[in-house]
Amino acid sequence: MKKRTLILKFILAYFIFFTFGFILVTIFVPNQTRDYLIRKKAEILYSEATLIANTYASGLYTSEASLETVALQLNALSVYMESEIRIINPSGRLVLDSSRAIPVDETVTISGFDPAITSGTYYVTGDFFGSLKSEMLTVLAPIITDYKIKGYVAIHTSMQEIEETCNMLLNISYISMGILYLLSLIILIFFVELVYIPLRKITYAAEQYADGNYHYEFQVDSQDEMGYLAATVNYMSDTIAGAEDDQKKFIANVSHDFRSPLTSIRGYLEAMIDGTIPPEMHEKYLNVVLNETERLTKLTNGLLTLNNLNTKGMRLEWSDFDINKVIRDTAASFEGTCRKKSMAIELNLVGDELLVHADLGRIQQVLYNLTDNAIKFSHHDSVIKIETNIKKNKLFVSVKDTGIGIPKEDLKQIWTRFYKSDSSRGKDKKGTGLGLSIVKEIIAAHDQNINVISTPGVGSEFIFSLALTDTDEI
Ligand code: ADP
């Protein structure tokens, strides 16, 4: 029921439109048309009546014309005008009537005659004080001589012609209205086809997605907003389905990465307790256990960092700092590790001091992760190069090694959480696969880019950009 309300509303709107249209055409339009036609006809008749009053009829009162002459003229005029013309005294006595001759000895009076009947409109419809057999349109014009009203010229005309014209015009408007309704039905059909049916499909699909059925597929072929909406909903479901798969993979990875150090810790501890590992060997194995716990700590820290980075609206603590100092400090912190592998870090930096605008702590982490990887995946006695370059008002920092390199098929994936290439698994047991995803997120949060160029067996170079401090502003 809920789903059908839209179409019901549309049909209701259609019926309201139909009803109001019907009332308009059957009541308002006929009245207006009839009034208009009567007024127009009355205007013409009134000017005729005034003309008669000022010419023939006033001649009668100034004795310039005889009753017979005027009667003849009025008869001719009434035939021509298809109307009845009368001359009436102010008292209501008929002086002349074009429809019949009034005998000299007979006095015909219109009882109740009141010339004020037309006041305001100068015309009246009806039987004119009961003096007409049928309903007629009457106009009344005064005959004035010597500034006195001597009588009135009344012209009565049949309403039939007006009614006929009115009916003809109304028929046209009824037919137009009918055609309009039929045409508006087309709108209803279009609405159902273009809006209602696609909308129902989209709603049904949305319900399916809400129920967790993200693989439900539907088709809306139109190229308009509905098609766009359907494509967007489809895309959204794919993204959600993808995110769900990612989540599952993520949890599987986390569990796996937590389980292996825990299993080995448990194994060593049990072996120590039950005596499989003799007490004199305890120190050696406790160190192994320590290493494993270190790995767990690293994993947990990595996850927490990623989680913080992922939080929407992550706030960076922007500041202007000397990137050269940060690079030197990072390199120094790896001195011990490098010595163990007889490796060296070579720095090739622009200027003595170079200010960049970024989050110091986060950029330190980026440099740390990249240098850590470079050392991890390099051979003994090799050199790591950290260089800076300025191009197009941006600083590019490169961390380059001559280590194992990354196979082409792995290049896209190294940024994904928990990804470790097969070749690196053996070499780096402590790796979490989170380092580069953290790096990527940090650089993206700075609105900058990071790229990698790598050839297996030759080495890798990671290059990221940073915004230089706008020295004009300092
Ligand atoms: P981790 O180093 O903890 O395994 P990272 O996300 O930092 O995780 O790196 C992901 C993978 O990318 C590594 O396991 C390795 O296979 C590859 N990788 C990263 N840096 C290098 C590098 N400098 N040389 C070769 N392989 C690298």
pTM as predicted: 0.52
User: In angstroms, what is the C-alpha Rg of the chain?
Assistant: 52
For 30-76, what is the HEC assignment?
HHHHHHHHHHHHHHHHHHHHHHHHHHHHHHHHCCCCCHHHHHHHHHH
* Pairwise CA distance, residues 390 & 355, whole Å: 12
* Pairwise CA distance, residues 302 & 402, whole Å: 26
Residue with tokens 């049904």: 204
Spacing, Cα 410 to ligand 1 middle (Å): 10
Choosing from 406, 415, 432, 461 the residue with most ligand 1 atoms within 8 A of its CB, the one to mutate for a pocket test is 406
In this structure, what are the phi and psi dihedrals at residue 122, rounded to the nearest 5 degrees?
60, 10
CB 459 within 8 A of CB 405: yes
* Pairwise CA distance, residues 178 & 172, whole Å: 10
Choosing from 372, 420, 438, 458 the residue with most ligand 1 atoms within 8 A of its CB, the one to mutate for a pocket test is 420
Specify the amino acid at residue 428. D
Spacing, Cα 256 to ligand 1 middle (Å): 18
CB atoms within 10 A of CB 84: 20
**Is 419 close to ligand 1, i.e. is its CB under 6 Å away?**
yes
* Pairwise CA distance, residues 6 & 131, whole Å: 62
* Pairwise CA distance, residues 383 & 387, whole Å: 13
Specify the amino acid at residue 352. D
What pLDDT score does 1 carry? 44
Distance set, CA 458 to CA 378, 386, 440 (Å): 10, 17, 23
CB atoms within 10 A of CB 93: 15
Q: State both tokens at 318.
A: 């922007």
* Pairwise CA distance, residues 371 & 256, whole Å: 26
* Pairwise CA distance, residues 44 & 352, whole Å: 105
What 70-75 contacts at long range (C-beta under 8 Å, 24+ apart), as own/partner pairs, is 70/96, 71/96, 71/98, 71/101, 74/98
Residue 190, burial from CB neighbour count under 10 angstroms (0-12, 13-18, 19+): exposed
**Is 356 close to ligand 1, i.e. is its CB under 6 Å away?**
no
Spacing, Cα 373 to ligand 1 middle (Å): 6
Dihedral (CA of 188, 191, 193, 196) sign? negative
Residue 465, burial from CB neighbour count under 10 angstroms (0-12, 13-18, 19+): buried
Spacing, Cα 262 to ligand 1 middle (Å): 23
C-alpha count within 13 angstroms, C-beta hemisphere, residue 428: 20
DSSP secondary structure string for all residues of 424-450? HHHH-TT--S-HHHHHHHHHHHTT--E
| Distance in Å from the first CA to the final CA of the chain | 66
Hey, whose CA ends up nearest to atom 19 of ligand 1?
373
Q: State both tokens at 294.
A: 């270190």
What pLDDT score does 217 carry? 86
Q: Specify the ligand 1 atom closest to the Cα of 378.
A: 24
Choosing from 424, 434, 442, 458 the residue with most ligand 1 atoms within 8 A of its CB, the one to mutate for a pocket test is 424
What pLDDT score does 422 carry? 60
Q: State both tokens at 366.
A: 């980026």
What pLDDT score does 319 carry? 94
Q: Specify the ligand 1 atom closest to the Cα of 403.
A: 24
DSSP secondary structure string for all residues of 325-379? HHHHHHHHHTHHHHHHTT-EEEEE-SSS--EEEEEHHHHHHHHHHHHHHHHHTS-
pLDDT < 50 stretches in the chain: 1, 425, 474
At 295-345, the pLDDT tens digits run 889 888 878 877 777 655 567 889 999 999 999 999 998 988 899 899 999
* Pairwise CA distance, residues 167 & 160, whole Å: 10
What pLDDT score does 29 carry? 87
What pLDDT score does 396 carry? 97
In this structure, what are the phi and psi dihedrals at residue 187, rounded to the nearest 5 degrees?
-60, -40
CB 96 within 8 A of CB 70: yes
Q: Which residues pair with 461 in a beta bridge?
A: 400, 453
CB 122 within 8 A of CB 48: no
